[in-house]
């Protein structure tokens, strides 16, 4: 059994989102339990409660030995505002947990990885449980909690450490106290709702700030806004261009991104679930 606790370090979900995830767990994964902190449903402007409320909920669940995993409810901007403070307050119980999320939750995953706290994991989140395609993404994570590695990113070889990030999130954490040492890692990136020129600009930044990585893989780049002119390069051509400029091996595509096909990437070396 994996005892899963859910909080929302950035933006809120509705009780309907939580109920859909609870039904899915009860009906198909009775070996697990899932608990949604009331903070998930709070609202303070853009955020799921104030910075302090979001911080307290995350630390409460991370430090509670009654839970095996903390599953972040949803992405959306905001987790960076509480990441450092949360890390500074995490105890031994927090260090034994699995933490799952992606997109903006990359700020927290990075900080956890940098500080050797638990097992950070790129994976889909409970907010997706209301649609059939989204439920399959949620099932993928729940199967992984059960020790089923079929939902892992196929390129993981168990020999080279890997991480996965939203492109803009990774660019924002470089040269900050949240950034782990990614030397020798395969870095996977994906993006959503950014113009092609913005993707190019983000790669420019990463090409000049990342350490000597083992290589880069490009996930999906979706919902690209229409610009007043064509950029002239595909997103894969952009990735290849900046990898070549930086001297990083371009390793091809990865099955990660803001889609229902989003695969699981444990930070470090891939293994079956460590939760439960």
Per the CB < 8 A criterion, the answer to whether 161 and 200 are in contact is no
Phi, psi of 231 (to 5 degrees): -70, -35
With cut-offs at 50, 70 and 90, classify the pLDDT of residue 270.
confident
If you write DSSP's letter for every residue of 81-132 in order, what string do you get? GTHHHHHHT--TTGGG-EEEE-GGGHHHHHHHHHTT-SEEEE---GGGGGSH
Predicted confidence (pLDDT) per residue in 41-98, tens digit:
999 999 999 999 999 999 999 999 999 999 999 999 999 999 999 999 999 999 999 9
Residue 274 clears pLDDT 60, i.e. is over it: no
Per the CB < 8 A criterion, the answer to whether 254 and 153 are in contact is yes
Query: What's the CATH fold of domain 162-253?
Result: Glucose Oxidase; domain 1 (3.50.30)
Q: CA-to-CA distance for 253 and 239, rounded, in angstroms?
A: 10
Domain ranges of the chain: 2-151, 162-253
Question: Which of 91, 114, 120 shows the shortest CA–CA distance to 266?
Answer: 120
Both tokens of residue 199?
Answer: 């993707």
Per the CB < 8 A criterion, the answer to whether 61 and 8 are in contact is no
**H helix intervals, the chain:** 15-28, 51-63, 83-88, 106-114, 132-145, 167-173, 196-207, 235-246
Both tokens of residue 20?
Answer: 């859909």
Predicted confidence (pLDDT) per residue in 166-210, tens digit:
999 999 999 999 999 999 999 999 999 999 999 999 999 999 999
Both tokens of residue 164?
Answer: 């996965």
Q: CA-to-CA distance for 256 and 240, rounded, in angstroms?
A: 18
Both tokens of residue 274?
Answer: 């460590």
Chain mean pLDDT for the chain? 96
Residue where the block lists tokens 């901007």: 77
Residue where the block lists tokens 């309907």: 16
pTM above 0.85, yes or no: yes
- Find all residues with CB under 8 Å of 216, minimum gap 6, and list them: 186, 187, 188, 189, 239, 243, 248, 249, 250, 251
With cut-offs at 50, 70 and 90, classify the pLDDT of residue 7.
very high
Per the CB < 8 A criterion, the answer to whether 64 and 93 are in contact is yes
With cut-offs at 50, 70 and 90, classify the pLDDT of residue 223.
confident
Burial of 50 (0-12, 13-18, 19+ CB in 10 A): middle
Question: Which of 130, 3, 122, 153 shows the shortest CA–CA distance to 67?
Answer: 3
Find the mean pLDDT for residues 149-175. Answer: 97
CATH architecture, range 2-151: 3-Layer(aba) Sandwich (3.40)
């Amino acid at each position: 059994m994996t005892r899963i606790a859910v909080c929302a370090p950035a933006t809120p979900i509705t009780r309907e989102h939580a109920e859909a995830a609870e039904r899915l767990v009860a009906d198909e994964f009775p070996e697990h339990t899932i608990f949604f902190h009331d903070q998930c449903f709070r609202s303070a402007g853009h955020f799921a409660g104030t910075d302090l409320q979001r911080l307290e909920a995350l630390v409460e669940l991370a430090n509670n030995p009654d839970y095996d995993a903390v599953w972040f409810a949803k992405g959306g901007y905001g987790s960076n505002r509480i990441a450092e403070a949360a890390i500074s307050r995490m105890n031994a119980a927090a260090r034994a947990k699995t933490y799952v999320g992606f997109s903006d939750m990359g700020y927290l995953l990075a900080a956890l990885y940098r500080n050797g706290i638990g097992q950070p994991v790129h994976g889909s989140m409970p907010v997706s449980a209301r649609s059939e395609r989204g439920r399959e993404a949620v099932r993928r994570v729940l199967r992984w909690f059960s020790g089923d590695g079929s939902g892992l990113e196929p390129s993981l070889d168990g020999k080279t450490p890997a991480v996965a990030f939203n492109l803009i999130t990774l660019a924002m954490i470089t040269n900050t106290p949240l950034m782990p040492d990614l030397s020798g890692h395969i870095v996977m990136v994906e993006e959503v709702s950014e113009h092609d020129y913005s993707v190019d600009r983000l790669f420019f930044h990463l090409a000049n700030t990342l350490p000597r990585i083992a290589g880069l893989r490009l996930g999906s780049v979706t919902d690209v806004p229409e610009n007043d002119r064509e950029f002239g390069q595909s997103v894969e051509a952009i990735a290849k261009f900046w990898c070549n400029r930086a001297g990083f091996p371009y390793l091809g595509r990865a099955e990660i991104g803001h889609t229902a096909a989003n695969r699981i990437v444990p930070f470090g070396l891939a293994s079956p679930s460590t939760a439960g």
